Structure 1
Amino acid sequence: MDDINTTVIHVSTEEELLQAIQDTDENTTLIVIEEPCQTNQNENIKDTNEIIKDKYKQLISTKSNQINVNSYSDQNNNTNENNESTNNESKQRSRKRKRQTQNWKQNVRKRYRQSGKEYINAKGKTVESKRIKTRKDCKGHCKYKCSDKISASERKSLFDSFWSLNDSAKNVFYSRTVIRNKKKRHRTSKQNSRKQFSYEYNFNLGLIKAQVCKEFYLSILDISARRIQWYFDHKNPDFENKRGQHIKYKIREAALCIIRDHINSSSRVESHYSRANSSRKYLEPTLSLSKMYQLYTEKCQSKSIKVEKSHIYRSIFNSEFNLGFHIPKNDRCDQCEEFKSSSKNNVLTDEFKKKYENHIENKNNAKVERDQDRHSIKPVVCFDMQNVITCPRANISNFFYKRKLNMYSLTAHFSLNKCAYNAVWPETLAGRGGNEIAN
């Protein structure tokens, strides 16, 4: 194992830097500290990394199997941070909830498995968490003296760094720390021996590569030898990995914009009963998602535009728009609906039952008062704003893209003569506010 020395130099000119590089051998790490030049303060020294680039290439090429585990750990941590920042973005209101793939059970199990944490597998069995294991004493019986080379703190650092990597980064780790060679000699008289290769295990501690035995390597990482064998078997050129080689079907952004424009071209109607409680807009009751896709197809064919699949249209409609086809009604009693729901789920409490009985009693008393008012000689006028009527209505494709005229309908009932009166006016005459109706 080669020892690499470290030399620190102070330079102020390019000539001093080049001379220092020439005087440095291959086993020395050069640390350059740039100092301002006294003769010319404005003269800049060229980038140190670019000038000594070729020199370090020679050092790296001689130690191509060396790798700092922490660099892969940092790369994996950056990826996790990017995923968390993406998940924390503000959610856009849409017709349907978006898939939260990161919360799927199989993906949660995968993250736990890759990080070495305890988890429950698909069969319902608990898999223990990974930990550093001591399988044998490498101080007196191991020819590599593994315990003397790597301290307890270094073992903990190697273990934590390894289990912070994902599966792809772990494969890179195996390629840098394990070397597979053809076996050097036969230990059996049989011609066809099962052993075809021998493995050399190493740990990289900074710039130092420490060779260790197989048992020490596997116990530090708490993995089986099958992982190493699987990696090298699938690394074989005879094994063709076809993952990620399929043709990626990407929809053009222009095609998606056409779908969005078509959805936006349909006239919208606000909810009559829940305008204050809902931000959802509504399309005409005569429309449906299938009908809208049919209209989209006809429009594209008339303009000689490629028609996208129906699932793409449906996906955009459900994920990017908060639209509905039916006008909701919130005239039901909240307490009665809560009682029905609790009765179905068998979660009723005595307190809630008593509260509901009082609620029914008050309802019956209110009905009695209403009946008395109906037979009273005092005149009572009841009025209500009915649903908004859009005109005209017809199953003609062009009508769905035009803005309709809203007609407002107000109904009143007079208690003495039992007659109902109705007033209808267009939105061009007046709105539906309380002051406008009173006038």
Structure 2
Amino acid sequence: MSGSESDEPVSKKRIRNPDTHKRNIIRSSKVKGVEHINWKGDLVQKRVTGERCKCRLKCFSLFDEDDQVNILSQFNNLSSKDEQDIFLQSLIEKHDKKAHRPRQDNPKSRQCSFKYFVLKQGTKINVCKQAYISLHGISAGRVRRLCDLLFQGSLPKDKRGMNEKANAIKPEICKAIHDHILSFPVKNTHYGGKQIKYLDSRLNVKTMHELYMKKHPTLFVKYEFFLKYFKENFNLRFGRPQVDTCIKCEELGVKIKSPSLSEPAKKAAVAEKIVHSRRAKKFYTKIKEVQELCRKNENIVGISFDFMQNLPLPHLPVQDIFYLRQLWVNCFGIHNMKTQKSKFYMYHEGEGKKGVNEVCSMLHKYITSSIPESVDTLYLFSDGCPGQNKNHTILRFSLALVNSGRFKEVTHFSL
């Protein structure tokens, strides 16, 4: 499966928590109106109701202390600056000017006037501009900006941090890097519930960067950024796992080492792992017993079988191979415990898959060609892969061997 055909890989780095970033803490504190330390290290006091207005309407007399607290609390509970600005703008009305009486030689002509309101128990109450500012605990500059946007017919939008950085990598370069990494074919792990994708073992990030520079000479990017982009946007590994580890052992091992798990749960995991290890030990003990039976009895044979790692074809140290979808060769091995000899069946992916049908076919071929007719007891040993070795098809195949009279007894042990 090529990288472009697979699902988008997630990052292999630890998950970010933007809420703990300093800039976001300051930004959130300003929205909520709580006390905080700004970028300069100065203490910013919490948002409070401003000074009373001195207008002839005596706007503050319309609101008692509880009303003032509720107005400020309602405003602070809005989750973002955009929501606050939209809320504030909804309490401002634009009206055409009624009269124009210039008192200077070159007066500034105002094109409209504004009315300000405050919500009190769901009802809009007309107040002066100073009362509007004080009751919401905001600045006059913020109100001026909202009025300008209202005059233009625009909604307020927080544009802080939206300016393009001078040293930012261009989007087309990031896209070229992304497409370049996806162009390499990947292979999936054979075992395990968690899908892990592997790149060719001859590759590394340095080689991928060199190939990128040859492929895109005009879109220069440093190796450090290429490596950072690879780690943050892809969860790919190189090579292959050296051994097939047991899923159950790995799962229980993680639980035992987890700091967030309670002591009773850890003890239960330890006990479960002990039982699991004993079962595995019993499996290998059974193999030794069958080997001894095979040595002493001519009519008993034990075989173990499994697929080995897929082999790429062709295997060439050429850079162009990294971008090509290579042909995979499957290799199925059967080991005879009586003769201590093994036989391998090899076929490429165009001839067959790695399913239970292929397993049964190769077992049947081996039994008919390599096990004498005098043998009437057969022992099978395999791992617990459900798609190949441990399933109903294998059981029915074993039953067919007995019902056909080929064997008197067929016993299958799986790890």
CA contact (8 A) 1:272 1:327 kept: no
**Structure 2 residue aligned with 1:285:** 201
Counterpart of 2:81 (choices 166, 170, 173) is 166
- Work out the CA distance in 1 between the residues paired with 2:74 and 2:229: 41
Match of 1:338 among 228, 232, 252: 252
1:310 to 204, 223, 228: 223
Matched, 1:269 2:269: no
Q: Which residues in structure 2 correspond to 1:406-417 (within 5 Å)?
A: 406-417=328-339
Spell out, residue by residue over 1:33-85, the C-alpha distance to the aligned partner (whole angstroms, 9 max, x if none). Answer: xxxxxxxxxxxxxxxxxxxxxxxxxxxxxxxxxxxxxxxxxxxxxxxxxxxxx
Alignment check: 8 A CA contact 1:409 1:425 kept? yes
Q: What letter corresponds to residue 402 of structure 1 in structure 2?
A: L
Distance (Å, rounded) in 2 between the aligned partners of 1:370 and 1:152: 84
TM-score computed with the length of structure 1 as normaliser = 0.51
Could you tell me which residue of structure 1 aligns to residue 348 of structure 2?
A: 426
For normalisation by structure 2, the TM-score amounts to 0.54
- Equivalent of 2:215 in 291, 299, 313: 299
Which structure 2 residues correspond to residues 335-374 of structure 1 after superposition, within 5 A?
Answer: 335=249, 338-339=252-253, 342=256, 345=259, 348-349=263-264, 350-374=267-291
Q: Mapping of 1:163-202 within 5 angstroms?
A: 163=76, 164=78, 166=81
Q: C-alpha displacement at 1:287, in angstroms?
A: 0.7
Closer, same or farther: CA 102–361 of 1 in aligned 2, 3 Å? closer
- Distance, in Å, in 2 between the alignment partners of 1:245 and 1:375 is 75
Residue 94 (structure 1) aligned with residue 10 (structure 2) = yes
Within-5 A mapping of 1:64-213 = 93-96=9-12, 100=16, 102-106=18-22, 109-116=25-32, 145=58, 147-150=60-63, 155=68, 158-160=71-73, 162-163=75-76, 164=78, 166=81, 204-205=116-117, 210=128
Structure 1 residues 109, 263: closer, same or farther in 2, change over 3 A?
closer
Distance 1:394 1:412 in 2: 29
Structure-2 change in CA distance of 1:144 and 1:338 (3 Å): same
Query: Paired residue for 2:238?
Result: 325
Quote the offset at 1:374 in angstroms. 1.4
Q: Between Structure 1 and Structure 2, how many residues are aligned? A: 296
State the 4+ residue runs in structure 1 displaced beyond 6 angstroms. 119-122, 126-129, 141-144, 167-170
**Alpha-carbon distance change, 145 to 266 in structure 1, aligned in 2, over 3 angstroms:** closer
Q: Post-superposition shift, 1:382?
A: 0.6
* Cα displacement string for residues 190-241 of structure 1 (whole angstroms, at most 9, x for unaligned residues): xxxxxxxxxxxxx93379552769xx976x4568xxx889x99xxxxxxxxx
> 1:245 & 1:251 partners in 2: Cα distance?
10
Supply the distance in 1 between the matched residues of 2:166 and 2:322 (Cα, whole angstroms). 38
Unaligned runs of 5+ in 1: 1-90, 178-202, 233-241
Q: Displacement of 1:369 after TM fit?
A: 2.5
Q: Evaluate the alpha carbon distance shift between residue 281 and residue 344 of structure 1 in structure 2; reply closer, same or farther with a 3 A threshold.
A: closer
Post-superposition shift, 1:298? 1.9
* 2:304 alignment partner, SS class: strand
Shift in CA distance, 204/99, structure 1 to aligned 2, threshold 3 Å: farther
Note closer, same or farther for the CA distance 1:267–1:362 as it changes in structure 2 (3 Å cut). Answer: closer
Q: Tell whether 2:312 aligns with 1:384.
A: no
- Counterpart-to-counterpart distance in 2, 1:352 and 1:281: 29
What is the percent sequence identity of the aligned residues? 16
Provide the rounded CA distance (Å) in 1 between the counterparts of 2:166 and 2:129: 43
What per-residue deviation string (whole Å, max 9, x for no partner) do you get for residues 17-40 of structure 1?
xxxxxxxxxxxxxxxxxxxxxxxx
